[in-house]
Structure 1
């Protein structure tokens, strides 16, 4: 047993000796590992300090601290067609700036020669731009839109030659609805802002929110994001879905252009609006301009939208509201008669009918049918001047319509207010002189007749569209009642008669009932009292009169051919009406 334990003791001590040997081996291994790492470090330092010293010095020198504003993408603007398909009318187009970092270029002559093969610049001009070895940035060509050219030059992989991508506002259809859409421009702070139209009214929504980057930027302008950089997120703008129908807008613009040319007029406006909702399908003005080239426009007044930013004396189209007041107050009926002598005298003021016509005993239907001035005065005399003013105000002839466009003004009824409210002012106002309205106020007032006596709020944007496709419908103000449904129905039948048997007959299309009224008025001088020898022509109507769907206004400024509206604006009205019938496949409502 003792021998066993000695043997055991011997073998017990032997492992202690092997452990010491293993420990020494580890020390040696760690030593050589340290030597290996040291060699790697030396080799890396040799690479940095000797082999690629110049490259890394250049790269480090190209990085610099920056605090950069990150610009959001502006929201798009869409119009639609009758099927609800969206068509962009204001987009963000990619444009490029070709630039060089001269300090990175090895051979200026060869780089110049290569670029000259693809650019609309001579070798001399290119060389002059880039021949500055100490420069970090040398722009060569700006506002490049040709994507193929960009890709071609990128494929050359020219050292020190880069592209900088930006976004520029672009309007695919040029002058399409120009005053309504508006445009953007860059301010003194380099911030892009909407200047007119929807671009201005919805600028806060379209613009989005700028971001900020604080960190490093390399010579090519690229931001170098790292753990040390700080960034505030940029939020892109929200897009607009407008009520404008592309095809209706094109049709009305063409009808207006034809009218302007045929009548040698100075300007005009056509508006198409849904009678029961206020939805604007078209708003066409003349003169117009190319949204992509607004900087070339010399007369800035063209940027203004005359449908909401200018007022005029409308003439006989106002007689509808004079008649509405008389009917609503129970002072007249369609069968009420008076004897027309062709003249109305108040003090030294003498008012006559168009062409000095004398009609004798006539009823109220005839007054609208023949647009008799003394008939409108007769109604005013029955209801009184204050009631006339009250109903003009109820129809909104001196208030903003609430449309989503900037710089809207109101009509002017100040001649009917104290201290200007002389009796003769109410007399002339009854047939549309001595007061002024905007075209949009006028079409809105007619829509109230078509809509059973309730006003509508005209609008141009029906939804906003987010990047994820979600759409949010824009809420509209509630309507108000200005006349009873019975009065609206009676007045509509009188306006139908005015078209069928009166001066508006050229606007009527067989099989479709139409209610409306023409108006001709002299242009007032802008710099003095009195009227010029130029005229405004107007026609406002709605159809089908039995169940009104559309209200259309046509206004012509200063035609040089014919001086009565029944032979000018009615033709353009009919053209637009026929298009709408065909486009929307509207069935006839008359035999």
Structure 2
């Protein structure tokens, strides 16, 4: 059968197929071109950065930490060069085998390995990770001689923190420690993650913590070209780090040493302030600790020794622990009586040895009383009855209102972390403090206790020293500070930390003079005269004794009470009285009478500061000698936490006062001779 073809139709079909194929090819090429344009043009910067990230690594350059010196330039915290053994994981084929090999060359214990593993997990593959620090010259030689067969292992020189004064002023200076995961979270929240790249340490306590932003510096960066395996090939650029700023303190480290040595093995605190500026001259908290233990990670043994010690050496007693001020509160009470018009300087009371209020008998320390007592004598002999009556007349609201401007019951704002608020008691405070309605009620007997610095009163040694500084500077209250200058590491410019007046308390000169003159006579003829016998300068002060637990009307005999339950010893002082250059507060935990334990420490500190000598104060009198003096002088000072009460009604009995922060107090130990108040100075 013959097949007929139409050439024209075939040609049309062929052309159609060619056109379709051409369009398909053009569309494909168009899609490729569009994709190429998208990748090469629109997303050029993104992929260039990705490529550079694969080729270039940014290695952090850790800045040198700023140094800390005292007011005379004595170094308190510095950096020193040491050799560290480090491993770059990207250059090591078998990490465990390398660690075992290194352990055969020099001592590497389990703690070193655990710390290395933790740092390795947190580091980038091309960064070196420290395994051991403080290598000796012999250990360095061993590693270097075998380095040819230990790829990725290197010995580097690094700077570590050093505290050359050891335990001296450790609570003030603080310490640095390794950055933890919690620290990392806080750094990221603050937006400082980039500035801490490569840093392994940061401030953990004291000035190291509060001035971390000044001391740390600015991290630099080094651009390094790396190969596909993550190994560095060559350095491309270098941005140097900026060292941290230095700190110059108001602290006198030699005065600090005198203060700490004066405490011996006793627990307590001392705060010395320059009244005209608020600069802290000495800030001792005893016992102390060695901050060098924390620099490279404290050992379990050392930490257990510090943490389990009954003396709590890590506790910053000067700014964190709160105590009843005892009779050191009386000069402020006397001034309150004058300023409010409740008393005049010449107005006297007849002290018969007790004060009756609401059916309660609040006993004085001296049986039979002190006779006729005016304001001057009340401070010199520390007459409790005078202040029982004054507190009753002022009322708790009047007391709290007058004391608040002096900074009692509020943070001073010192440039150190961890400051406590303290307690300035008032009915409002009690309503907030307690939940039960019966506990929220304020009793009249509690006001009487507050008047002699007991009851719910609880202040830090720093608060008491700063209040005294305001008193002797005619009512000007400063924010205490430890740093005097911040020195710029680049320019050397010294940026002063200017004295910051918090408020001016309106006080009449005549009233101030009446109180300050009485405080001078405390150390001439009163309860502090033994400690300052023969002093070549005029000094004002006030002894104080704070009860640790309530005797419930029984007689306090120090020798029959366990050491941790004995009264705390207080002494506040300023000198020279004509133009005060130093104001201080001294607390000796469980030290007994204020004149017996705290006053001699104050004498040694003031002697050194004013006379530049370390001559010790006269030996403290024993209890028997102090008792005999009390009888001759007409009374020491009594300041029980809950004054001895006769015929107390149970419903009206004051709630037990809060215990001091430092050491949990065990149950009260009863003493004989009920119905007699303590005899304290």
* Structure 2 length-normalised TM: 0.64
After superposition, the C-alpha distances for 1:98-121 in whole angstroms (9 at most, x for unaligned) are 35899999xxxxxxxxx9999679
Deviations 1:215-253 (A, max 9, x none): 336999978322xx6x66633321211111121111111
Is the 2:400–2:426 Cα contact (8 Å) retained in structure 1? no
* 1:514 maps to 2:536: no
Partner of 1:247: 254
Would the aligned equivalents of 1:275 and 1:549 in 2 still touch at CA under 8 Å? yes
Report the alpha carbon displacement of residue 366 of structure 1 after superposing the two structures with TM: 1.4
CA deviation map 1:309-344 (0-9, x unaligned): 111111111011100111222332332101112111
Could you list the per-position Cα deviations for residues 50-102 of structure 1 after superposition, in whole angstroms to 9, with x for gaps in the alignment? xxxxxxxxxxxxx9853433322222111133xxxx12211122222235899
Which residue of structure 2 lines up, in the alignment, with residue 571 of structure 1?
600
Separation in structure 1 between the aligned mates of residue 428 and residue 126 of structure 2, nearest angstrom: 69
Contact 2:540/2:577 (8 A) holds in 1: yes
Q: Which runs of structure 2 are paired with 1:533-548 in the superposition (5 Å)?
A: 533-548=565-580
Q: Does the alignment pair 1:74 with 2:65? A: yes
Distance in 1 (alpha carbons) for counterparts of 2:520 and 2:233: 68
Asked whether the 8 Å contact 2:59–2:127 carries over to 1, the reply is no
Report deviation, 1:406: 0.7
Query: What's the RMSD between the two structures over aligned residues?
Result: 3.7
> Hey, what does 1:359 align to over in structure 2?
370
Say which is worse superposed, 427-436 or 296-305, in terms of deviation: 296-305
Q: Which segment is superposed worse, 533-542 or 516-525? A: 516-525
Corresponding residue number in structure 2 for 1:461: 483
Whether 2:491 is the aligned partner of 1:491: answer: no
What is the deviation of 1:139? 8.8
**SS of 1:518's equivalent?**
strand
Aligned partners of 1:254, 1:71: CA distance in 2, in Å?
38
Which residue in the other structure is 2:500 paired with?
477
How do 1:258-337 residues align onto structure 2 when only pairs under 5 Å count? 260=266, 267-294=267-294, 295=298, 296-298=302-304, 299-300=306-307, 302-337=313-348
Taking the aligned partners of 2:89 and 2:352, their CA distance within structure 1 comes to 90
Aligned mates of 1:214, 1:348 — CA distance in 2? 83
- Aligned residue in 2 for 1:393: 404
- Counterpart CA distance in 1 for 2:480 and 2:127 is 51
The structure richer in strand per residue is 1
Q: Deviations over 1:114-169 (max 9, x none)?
A: x99996799xxxxxxxxxxxx99999972125469758986999686731222222
What does 1:375-414 align with in structure 2 at a 5 Å threshold?
375-414=386-425
What SS does the aligned partner of 1:505 have?
coil
Match of residue 80, structure 2, among 93, 97, 100: 93
Deviations 1:183-239 (CA, angstroms, capped at 9, x unpaired): 11112356422111111111122122334444336999978322xx6x666333212
How far, CA to CA, are the matches of 1:172 and 1:217 in structure 2?
A: 41
Change (3 A) 1:475 1:119: same
- Residue 443 of structure 1 and its aligned partner are, at CA, apart by 0.5
Alignment partners' CA distance in 2, 1:362 and 1:293: 55
Kept in 1: contact 2:90–2:230 (CA 8 A): no
- Give deviations 1:380-403, integer Å, cap 9, x for gaps: 234343222111112110111111
Deviation string, structure 1 residues 476-500 (Cα, Å, up to 9, x no partner): 3224222233322221101111221
What is the CA distance between 1:583 and its match in structure 2? Answer: 1.4
Sort the Cα spacing of 1:520 and 1:241 in 2 relative to 1 into closer, same or farther, 3 A: same
1:580 maps to 2:584: no
Post-superposition CA distance 1:33-56 (Å, at most 9, x none): xxxxxxxxxxxxxxxxxxxxxxxx
Tell me the SS of whatever aligns to 2:535: coil
SS in 2 for 1:488: helix
Residues 549, 565 of structure 2: 8 Å contact kept = no
Is 1:200 the counterpart of 2:223 in the alignment?
no
Indicate the structure (1 or 2) with the bigger Cα radius of gyration: 1
Counterpart-to-counterpart distance in 2, 1:221 and 1:372: 80
Structure-1 residue corresponding to 2:360? 349
Per-residue deviation at 1:472? 0.6
> Using a 3 Å threshold, how does the CA distance of structure 1 residues 416 and 397 change in structure 2: closer, same or farther?
farther
Residues 181 and 99 from structure 1, CA distance in 2 versus in 1: closer, same or farther, beyond 3 angstroms? closer
- Aligned residue pairs total 485
Indicate conservation of the 8 Å contact 1:185/1:195, yes or no.
yes
In structure 2, the partner of 1:504 is: 528
Per the alignment, residue 158 of structure 2 pairs with 166
Residue 589 of structure 1 is matched in structure 2 by none
1:499-546, CA deviations, whole angstroms, 9 ceiling, x for partnerless residues? Answer: 211111123143311111111111159xxxxx9842111000101111
